[in-house]
């Protein structure tokens, strides 16, 4: 039994405009309840929506970056339904003339690179947020988010595995960060995604299609991946139980419970939700002229894939380093600033991808947010490359001081006594002490266990406070133990 | 000088600016009359004498300080109760908005304040402007000042009656399918619907967004122009507001050589003999004054009512979805949120509003959209094209405003279709977005006013007002309705 996984992704992305989609209220996360509201985003009687041109330009830049075809003539439509968080009883969205169609996103997994095709991209407004107070049996609505501009990006079902789904979301996030159009933070809800998934199972020459399941409640890329894994297994199990009859099961919406790592039914059957779409009469149909397109194109910078290629070619970096450096635009910018400040590119890349990335990770920041001036890192890299301080001592003692605000790496090397010890006599003396103190490791090494040398080497490095060159220490030990 | 309440807006503004009368005197004269008459005509839903006087005192203070409060200095303007006035009740004559006080002014209200006008109460209407008689008001119908047993028309019946009875020299209304022009005709005053986009709709509580337009009521064409001048022009808060320059509304001239088309479709069955006689008489006078009257045909206009009653309820079904009890207005009780919605809307909306919500919901529903809303929009586009073509041949169109003079209250209340047909001559202007004006052209033998409707191409207000001024001079002057029986049933201000 062979099966093919088909995942389509529907992503809602909050645009990082200063004001909302149809009024002047600020777009901000975490403000006190109902403080970022006005008659328009509250849907007060008589208020009218006026489209935010900046939001449309941002969406156009995103569409351009993804190679979409931009509509000449476009319009807004009303999507009608009742819900307490929906102030007007309809959402202003786009129905049959979306801002853009087609295009695609390149995703890279271990299986290689491929393009996930896009179906459409359109603009709509966000809704408010229901807040439930179960203790009091009360529900309240916070409309701060209502009217925030969203783009909805719908892919074709080209995603063939949970890993690809993760890669798709990461690629999209990188793209919008490069374009600076969204924070794309799933925890804060700037990026929300609803994958739909089904299987084509080949059995006895025919193909059985499992019903398409839409998955909701996903608040991290990791949960998207986990939920899809669960869902694929669940659909396979359902097929094993029902056979070809599984195809007649209804389409459904399932929620993801990350505590239990499983999905559960939210809505069965294609409840033909009739949204009664019709053209928004308060906003005239509008055209995207060449000038507007050019304005949007001008905002598209060098994108991650291109920059990755350039870093590899221009600086001779490995694919791994080039990829790691370009995932965040600010990190790639930082790397270029460090090389411009005189650091040799390969070691600079290594410092950023390994050491700075680890510090950033611990501080839950990006590399750029560590705010280590590029010239200072460049100075440190040069000291190591010139042999003034060992790589190890620089990483362990010097870098933390620089991150705390230390400003002259060369002076710090003197002050902290970190200068590399090149005195071979001193190294050999310490090596002899190490051999004497580590009888068991010495015996193991001589018995053929190469790895045992590391313990003796570690002893030497510790004794010398990391200031010796590890390669010299190792060579000395091998000679003495030969 | 005659009594202050008998004066027109231009004369009152001149008197106040020239310190011949104080704004407080003007306000008091109208308050005194409004409080006495309102028991009979029920034109106002809300009128707070103290608030009116406060505004008038402020105008007088500014004048004493040497300031010029503006072209409408001290002129009372009655406001249809579907226009938001900050902090004042704004009910749309609906139970659902009974407790609603908007936190902001409509654009037109801001403009009136800036022009020095006195906001003079909120006038009655059919609930959410849906109707042609004000009988759909949740708070009782307005009566025609010329015959209290008859309708003042609708939906802006309160505004029309207030101006006709001398309770205010000016009033604002809104016109979605004839809601300014029809009551203006039935009450013997001037009422005008501007080109779609000339006046910002910001703060007008929407009925049918693609048709709604705010416009003036007055007793003379000059006064109507004065009010329209004060409210017209681009507003960034309404995306459908036009960037075109406001037409010059002050032009004067005669009718010589003006080509006036008379659509034959407007003179068919259903036009009462009384109305036909008066309109024919008016057209004769225009001809005698040099206008070239010619018959034209607008074959698609016969579909106007059908198209209108698809488009307007469809938009209304969506526009009125926001009244769910969550944020403002009344709130029903319910065990679930769906029950709360249903209870709120069930209690809050009247029968005609519910009928139109149902009609519109059906017309937009999946499987019916193309047959109803989609097709109606296509016919509407064809009608606009036909209208544009017609205006290549003529400068203006003329017809009766309504098929009959004011009908009796209750006469059509049980028959929605008969009621809908009273808009047959007015809906075309809304569907085509063109301006149209109704001016009185005489009284029937029973003493009921009849209106002549002039229609111009989009942004053709300059020609429209110039011709209306010339026509007004040829037609019978405005005359006051008979005094109502004294005293009124109640001597207290309306709620």
Tens digit of each residue's pLDDT (9 = 90 or more) over B102-161? 999 999 999 999 999 999 999 999 999 999 999 999 999 999 999 999 999 999 999 999
Q: How far apart are CA B414 and CA B409, in angstroms?
A: 11
User: Which of helix, strand or coil describes residue B487?
Assistant: coil
B285 in a structural domain: no
Name which of B449, B403, B454 is nearest B424 in CA terms: B403
Tokens of B20: 């011949």
> What value does the mean pLDDT take over residues B78-104?
97
Q: Give B240 to chain A, closest Cα distance, Å.
A: 6
For residue B491, the model assigns a pLDDT of 44
Give SS3 for B52. helix
Q: Is residue B22 part of a domain?
A: yes
The pLDDT tens digits for A222-249 are 999 999 999 999 999 999 999 999 999 9
Indicate which CATH number applies to the domain containing B224. Answer: 3.90.1300.10
**What is the average per-residue pLDDT within A289-308?**
94
User: How much is the average pLDDT of A48-54?
Assistant: 98
Render pLDDT for A425-459 as a digit per residue (tens, 0 to 9): 888 888 888 898 888 888 898 888 888 888 898 88
Catalytic (active site) residue B80: yes
What local confidence, expressed as pLDDT, does residue A271 receive?
Answer: 59
Q: Would residue B69 count as lying in a domain?
A: yes
- CB contacts, 8 Å: B205 with chain A: 45-46
Residue A111: per-residue pLDDT: 80
For position A482, what pLDDT does the model report? 81
Query: Which segments of B394-450 does DSSP mark as H helices, in order?
Result: 416-420, 427-432
Task: For A182-225, write each residue's pLDDT tens digit.
Answer: 998 888 889 999 999 999 999 888 999 999 999 998 999 999 99
Residue B179 is among the residues annotated as catalytic for this protein: yes
pLDDT tens sequence across B467-481? 999 999 999 988 899
Residue A167 near residue A16, CB atoms below 8 Å? no
* 3-state SS string for B315-343: HHHHHHHHCCCCCCCCCCCCCCHHHHHHH
Would you say residue A41 has pLDDT above 60?
yes
| Count of other CB atoms within 10 angstroms of residue B20 | 12
Token pair of A183 as six digits: 């924070």
Dump pLDDT digits (tens) for B200-238.
999 999 999 999 999 999 999 999 999 999 999 999 999
Min Cα separation A74/chain B (Å) = 15
Residue B177 located in a structural domain: yes
Judge whether residue A138 has pLDDT over 90: no
Residue B363 falls inside a structural domain: no
Residues of chain B contacting A37 with CB distance shorter than 8 Å: none
Q: Facing residues of A256 across strands?
A: A263
Distance of CA A434 to the CA centre of its chain: 47
**Average pLDDT of the segment spanning A329-352:** 94
Q: Which two tokens stand for residue B31?
A: 């308050």
User: Per the domain annotation, does B372 fall within a domain?
Assistant: no
**Residue A412 vs residue B412, higher pLDDT:** B412
Contact check, Cβ <8 Å, A282/B209: yes
Distance CA B79, CA B415 (A): 29
Task: Read off the pLDDT of residues B303-354 as tens digits, 9 standing for 90 and up.
Answer: 999 999 999 999 999 999 999 999 999 999 999 999 999 999 999 999 999 9
Q: Which two tokens stand for residue A29?
A: 């996360």
User: What average pLDDT does the segment B441-460 reach?
Assistant: 97
Tokens of A350: 């290594």
Mean local confidence (pLDDT), A309-328: 89
Which part of chain A is CATH 1.10.10.410?
424-481
A424-481 fold: Arc Repressor Mutant, subunit A (1.10.10)
Phi, psi of A261 (to 5 degrees): 50, 55
Selecting from A46, A48, A80 the residue whose C-beta is nearest the C-beta of B321 gives A80
Residue B455 lies in a domain: no
Task: Give the total number of structural domains in chain B.
Answer: 1
Phi/psi zone of residue A193: left (φ > 0), alpha (ψ -120 to 50 degrees), beta?
beta
Q: Please indicate whether residue B285 is annotated as part of the active site.
A: no
- Best residue in A281, A283, A284, A286 for a mutation probing chain B (most B CBs within 10 Å): A281
Q: How many CB pairs under 8 A join A and B?
A: 107
pLDDT for position A297? 97
Contact: A43, B210; criterion CB under 8 Å: no
Of B203, B236, B328, the CB nearest to A50: B236
Task: Evaluate whether residue B389 is within a structural domain.
Answer: no
**Predicted confidence (pLDDT) at residue B411 exceeds the cutoff of 60:** yes
pLDDT above 70 covers what percent of chain B?
98
Measure the CA–CA gap between B15 and B20, rounded to whole angstroms.
Answer: 5
Cis bond upstream, residue B487 (ω within 30): yes
Mean pLDDT for the stretch of residues A167-182 = 94
Nearest to B104 among A39, A80, A90 (CB): A39
Burial class of residue A326 (count of CB atoms within 10 Å of its CB; 0-12, 13-18, 19+): buried
Asked if pLDDT for residue B32 goes beyond 80, the answer is: yes
Q: Is residue B495 scored above 70 in pLDDT? A: no
CB contact under 8 A, B318 and A278: yes
Mean pLDDT, all residues of chain A = 92
Closest partner residue to A42 (CB to CB) among B106, B318, B327 is B327
More confident: B10 or A452: B10
What is the C-alpha separation between A97 and A279, in angstroms, rounded? 10
Query: Is the model's pLDDT at A378 over the cut of 70?
Result: yes
Helix H or strand E encompassing B221? helix B221-231
Residue whose token pair is 């929605």 = B416
SS (H, E, C) chain A: CEEEEEEEEEEEEECCCCECCCCCCECCCCCCCCCCCCCCCCCCCCCCCCCCHHHHHHHHHHHHHCCCEECCEECCEEEECCCCCCCCCEEEECCCCCCEECCEEEEEECCEEEEEEEEEEEEEECCCEEEEECCCCEEEEECCCCCCEEEEEEECCCECCHHHHHHHHHHHHHHHHHHCCCCCCCCCCCEEEEEEEEEEEEECCEEEECCCEEEECCCCHHHHHHHHHHHHHHHHHHHHHHHHHHHHCCCEEEEEECCCCEEEEEECCCCCCCCCCEECCCCCCEECCHHHHHHHHCCCCCCHHHHHHHHHHHHCCCHHHHHHHHCCHHHHHHHHHHHHCCCCHHHHHHHHHHHHHHHHHHCCCCCHHHCCCHHHHHHHHHHHHCCCECHHHHHHHHHHHHHCCCCCHHHHHHHCCCECECCHHHHHHHHHHHHHHCHHHHHHHHCCCCCHHHHHHHHHHHHCCCCECHHHHHHHHHHHHC
Closest CA–CA distance from residue A85 to any residue of chain B (Å): 9
The verdict on a CB contact (< 8 Å) between B239 and A283 is yes
Report the alpha-carbon distance of residue B439 to residue B221 in Å, rounded: 8
Q: SS in 3 state form for B268-321?
A: CCCCCHHHHHHHHHHHHHHHHCCCEEEEECCHHHHHHHHHHHHHHHHHHHHHHH
Residue (of A211, A212, A203) closest to A248 by Cα position: A211
Average pLDDT over residues B379-407: 97
Average pLDDT over residues B390-410: 97
Record: contact B84-A46, CB cut-off 8 A: yes
Paired with A76 in beta bridges are none
Q: Which of B156, B179, B314, B422 is catalytic?
A: B179
Residue B133: exposed, middle, or buried by beta-carbon count in 10 A (0-12, 13-18, 19+)?
buried
A269: pLDDT confidence band, cut at 50, 70 and 90? low
**pLDDT > 90: percent of chain A:** 65
Contact in structure between B136 and B353 (CB atoms under 8 Å): yes
């Amino acid at each position: 039994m062979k099966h093919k996984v088909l995942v389509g992704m529907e992503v809602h992305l909050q645009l990082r405009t200063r004001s909302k989609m149809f009024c002047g209220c600020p777009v901000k996360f975490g403000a006190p309840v109902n403080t970022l509201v006005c008659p328009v985003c509250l849907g007060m009687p008589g208020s009218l929506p006026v489209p935010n041109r900046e939001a449309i330009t941002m969406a156009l830049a995103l569409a351009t970056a993804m190679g979409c075809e931009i509509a000449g003539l476009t319009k807004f439509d009303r999507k009608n339904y009742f819900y307490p968080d929906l102030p007007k009883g309809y959402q202003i969205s786009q129905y049959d003339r979306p801002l853009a169609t087609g295009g695609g996103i390149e995703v890279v997994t271990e299986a290689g690179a491929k393009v996930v095709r896009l179906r459409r991209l359109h603009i709509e407004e966000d809704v408010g947020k229901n807040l439930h107070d179960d203790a009091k049996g009360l529900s309240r609505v916070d409309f701060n988010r209502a009217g925030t501009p969203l783009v909805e990006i719908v892919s074709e079902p080209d995603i063939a595995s949970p890993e690809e789904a993760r890669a798709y979301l990461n690629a999209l996030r990188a793209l919008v960060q490069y374009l600076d159009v969204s924070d794309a933070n799933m925890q804060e809800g700037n990026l929300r995604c609803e994958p739909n998934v089904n299987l084509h199972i080949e059995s006895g020459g025919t193909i059985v299609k499992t019903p398409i399941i839409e998955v909701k409640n996903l608040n991290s890329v990791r949960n998207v991946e986990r939920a899809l894994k669960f869902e694929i297994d669940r659909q396979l199990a359902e097929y094993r139980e029902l056979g070809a009859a599984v195809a007649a099961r209804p389409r459904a919406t399932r929620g993801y419970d990350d505590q239990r790592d499983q999905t559960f039914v939210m809505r069965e059957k294609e409840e033909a939700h009739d949204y009664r779409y019709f053209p928004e009469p308060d906003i005239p149909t509008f055209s995207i002229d060449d000038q507007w397109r050019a304005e949007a194109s001008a905002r598209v910078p060098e994108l991650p894939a291109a920059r990755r290629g350039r870093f590899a070619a221009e600086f001779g970096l490995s694919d791994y380093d080039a990829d790691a450096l370009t995932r965040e635009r600010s990190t790639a910018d930082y790397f270029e600033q460090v090389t411009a400040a005189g650091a040799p590119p390969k070691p600079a890349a290594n410092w950023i991808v390994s050491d700075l990335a680890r510090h950033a990770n611990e501080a839950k920041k990006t590399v750029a947010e560590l705010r280590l001036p590029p010239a200072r890192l460049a100075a440190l890299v040069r000291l190591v490359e010139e042999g003034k301080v060992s790589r190890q001592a620089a990483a362990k003692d010097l870098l933390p001081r620089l991150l705390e605000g230390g400003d002259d790496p060369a002076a710090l090397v003197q002050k902290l006594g970190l200068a590399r010890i090149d005195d071979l006599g001193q190294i050999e003396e310490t090596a002899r002490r190490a051999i004497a103190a580590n009888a068991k490791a010495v015996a193991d090494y001589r018995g053929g266990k190469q790895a045992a040398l590391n313990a003796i080497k570690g002893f030497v490095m510790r004794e010398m406070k990391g200031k010796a060159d590890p390669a010299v220490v190792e060579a000395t030990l091998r000679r003495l133990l030969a | 000088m005659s009594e202050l309440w008998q004066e027109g807006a231009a004369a009152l503004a001149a008197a106040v600016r020239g310190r011949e009368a104080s704004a407080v005197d003007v306000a008091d004269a109208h308050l005194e009359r409004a409080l006495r008459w309102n028991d009979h005509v029920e034109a106002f839903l809300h009128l707070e004498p103290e608030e009116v006087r406060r505004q008038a005192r402020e105008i007088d203070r500014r004048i004493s300080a040497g300031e010029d409060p503006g072209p409408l200095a001290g002129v009372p303007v009655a406001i249809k109760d579907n226009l938001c006035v900050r902090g004042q009740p704004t009910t749309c004559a609906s139970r659902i908005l009974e407790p609603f006080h908007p936190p902001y002014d409509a654009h037109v209200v801001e403009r009136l304040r800036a022009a020095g006008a006195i906001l003079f109460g909120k006038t009655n209407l059919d609930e959410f402007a849906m109707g042609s008689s004000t009988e759909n008001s949740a708070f009782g119908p307005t009566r025609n000042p010329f015959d209290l047993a008859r309708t003042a028309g609708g939906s802006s019946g309160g505004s029309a009656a207030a101006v006709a009875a001398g309770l205010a020299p000016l009033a604002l209304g809104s016109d979605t399918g004839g809601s300014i022009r029809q009551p203006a005709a039935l009450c013997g005053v001037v009422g005008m619907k501007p080109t779609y986009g000339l006046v910002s709709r910001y703060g007008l509580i929407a009925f049918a967004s693609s048709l709604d337009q705010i416009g003036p009521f007055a007793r003379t064409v000059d006064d109507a122009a004065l009010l329209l001048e004060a409210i017209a022009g681009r507003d960034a808060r309404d995306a459908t507001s036009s960037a075109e320059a406001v037409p010059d509304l002050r032009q004067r001239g005669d009718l010589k050589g003006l080509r006036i088309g008379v659509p034959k479709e407007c003179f068919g069955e259903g036009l009462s003999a009384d109305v036909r006689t008066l309109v024919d008489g008016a057209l004769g006078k225009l001809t005698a004054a040099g206008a070239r009257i010619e018959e034209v045909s607008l074959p698609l206009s016969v579909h106007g009512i059908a198209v209108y009653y698809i488009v307007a309820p469809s938009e209304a079904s969506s526009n009125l979805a926001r009244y769910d009890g969550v944020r403002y207005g009344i709130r029903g009780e319910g065990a679930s949120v769906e029950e709360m919605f249903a209870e709120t809307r069930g209690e809050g909306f009247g029968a005609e509003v519910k009928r139109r919500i149902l009609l519109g919901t059906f017309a937009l529903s999946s499987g019916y959209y193309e047959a109803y809303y989609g097709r109606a929009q296509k016919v509407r586009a064809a009608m606009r094209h036909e209208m544009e073509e017609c205006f290549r041949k003529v400068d203006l169109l003329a017809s009766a405003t309504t098929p009959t003079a004011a009908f009796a209250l209750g006469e059509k209340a049980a028959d929605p279709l008969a009621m809908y047909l009273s808009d047959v001559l007015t809906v075309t202007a809304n569907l085509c977005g063109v301006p149209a004006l109704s001016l009185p052209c005489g009284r029937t033998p029973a003493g009921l006013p009849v209106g002549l409707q002039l229609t111009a191409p989009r942004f053709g207000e300059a020609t429209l007002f110039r011709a209306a001024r010339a026509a007004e001079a040829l037609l019978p002057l405005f005359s006051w309705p008979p005094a109502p029986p004294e005293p009124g049933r109640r001597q207290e201000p309306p709620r």
